[in-house]
Amino acid sequence: EVQLVESGGGLNQPGGSLRLSCAASGLTVSSNYMSWVRQAPGKGLEWISVIYIDGSTYYADSVKGRFTISRDNSNNTLFLQMNKLRVEDTAVYYCARGLAENDYWGQGSLVTVSS
Amino acid sequence: DIQMTQSPLSVSASLGDTVTITCRASQGINIWVGWYQQKPGKAPALLIYGASNLRTGVPSRFSGSGSGTDFTLTISGLQPEDFATYYCQEADSFPYTFGQGTKLE
């Protein structure tokens, strides 16, 4: 059974940093495209980043230069390092398998950016 | 970026009804569309991929169609567990844009 479990969310001030983790079981992170998708409170879904099997990374314009996606192959974990946080980054962050048409999702981790 | 325009944004229906949700892409994307169902407080769940392929385990009352710019999700014979929000997503190119969502109530 595939499980993705996010952690690391919380309250942070504008300009701050936070790192989200996504621990995977039942699939190998390094053998899959892995994405992060977020959802602001009461809003729709926004794709923000993907890491390819070969390690290439891509970002939405809204987070480019501030967020970094990475993985730890030995611990089968995906990460999202979020720097220079803005109020508009407040959202539930989901990790998911695939580029798009994502078939497995974590339960989500709430990030709140507020002064 | 490709824009995905969903309609309607909300729809009222009753048990047993057939509901159709549409998604229009701002440019042709072949068959690269997925459809998701999301219930409050839960992660989205993939229903359809490649415009018309039903994900394993998804009830056959869900179906998808379309290619190019116009896509539809049809739910035939609504069941109580189908009342949720539905999203389309283009899977053609970055940034894999989602539609605005359709709330089925």
pLDDT in tens, B83-96: 999 999 999 999 99
Distance from CA of A6 to the nearest CA of B (A): 12
The mean pLDDT of chain B is 97
Q: Which long-range contacts (CB under 8 A, 24 or more apart) does B57-62 make?
A: B62/B35
pLDDT in tens, A81-102: 999 999 999 999 999 999 999 9
pLDDT of residue B20: 98
- Successive 10-residue mean pLDDT values, chain B, 105 residues: 96 97 97 97 97 97 97 97 97 95 97
Q: How far apart are CA A109 and CA A21, in angstroms?
A: 9
Q: How far apart are CA A49 and CA A32, in angstroms?
A: 14
Parts of chain A with a pLDDT under 70: none
Distance from CA of A75 to the nearest CA of B (A): 23
pLDDT of residue A95: 98
Kindly identify which residue of chain B lies nearest to residue A101, measuring between CA atoms: B34
Kindly identify which residue of chain B lies nearest to residue A98, measuring between CA atoms: B91
For A14-82, where are the alpha helices, taking DSSP H only? none
